[in-house]
Amino acid sequence: IRRGDVRPCRNANRYLTNDYYQQLIDRYTPSSTATNPPTVSVVIYSEPHSHETFDDFTSRGYQVRLHNVTLGQVWRDLIQADVAILSRSSFSFVPAILNRQTVVYTPFWHRPHRDWTNQRRQQGRIRRSSSNNNSSSNNATTMTNGAVWEIVDNATLFRNELQVQQLQTECCGKDKCPQLPIQTDNNNNNNN
């Protein structure tokens, strides 16, 4: 999750709310209940300064890693992830190119490769041959390495834009919009 200098009142065109990410996590992970716990591990990498806290993520049992993480660890996890949900950031875009599973791409200045767009336009929904794809998007393209790149739908993007506008209304230009220093890190397990 790209934060730090990206917040509702600064670089707002790149800000993606926690709710935005939660929508995508819900869309791409199997649902769980009290009797059927999640069978996936959700790992969130971000920066220790953020406009929104990560409490909603940690309360769901997600691993939120903010401190003592190397670039190599983050990139390795993005490359190996079954589903990599990208921020509007070159930092996540670069390793995602090497991912061989599912990459969820949020449009920003690194535009999709022309082949992704051409395949989508010519063939409609392109899926992996595996039946394990849980996504509901109509914007998928299969890469030559077998990865499926899915472009986030316009409705989800529009909802995020409305939420960012609401955050701006509540705090931009006022002293109520500080960047929260987040001091905790629930990364108390080993880094694998």
Dihedral class, residue 92 (left if φ above 0, else alpha if ψ from -120 to 50, else beta) = alpha
What is the per-residue pLDDT for 127? 35
18-28 vs 154-171: helix axis angle to the nearest 10? 160
Task: Give the per-residue pLDDT at 70.
Answer: 93
Model pLDDT, residue 78: 94
CB 87 within 8 A of CB 135: no
Dihedral angle at the C-alpha atoms of 154, 155, 160, 165, nearest 10 degrees? 100
Q: Is the distance from CB of 62 to CB of 22 less than 8 angstroms? A: no
Helix (H, G, I), strand (E, B) or coil at 84: strand
- The pTM (predicted TM-score) of the whole model is 0.74
For tokens 């705090």, the residue is 171
How far out from the chain centre does Cα 1 lie? Answer: 6
- Residue 137: per-residue pLDDT: 45
Q: What does pLDDT average to in each consecutive run of 10 residues of the chain (192 residues)?
A: 86 90 89 64 91 90 90 94 92 90 87 51 34 45 66 87 89 63 48 38
In one letter, which amino acid is 40? V
DSSP 46-113: --SEESS-SHHHHHTT-EEE-SS--HHHHHHHHHH-SEEE--SSHHHHHHHTT-SSEEEE--SSSPPP
> Pairing relation of β-strands 148-151 and 140-142?
antiparallel
Residue 162 has what pLDDT?
92
State the residue for tokens 């990410």.
21
Which residue in the block uniquely carries the two structure tokens 């500080």? 178
pLDDT at 142: 59
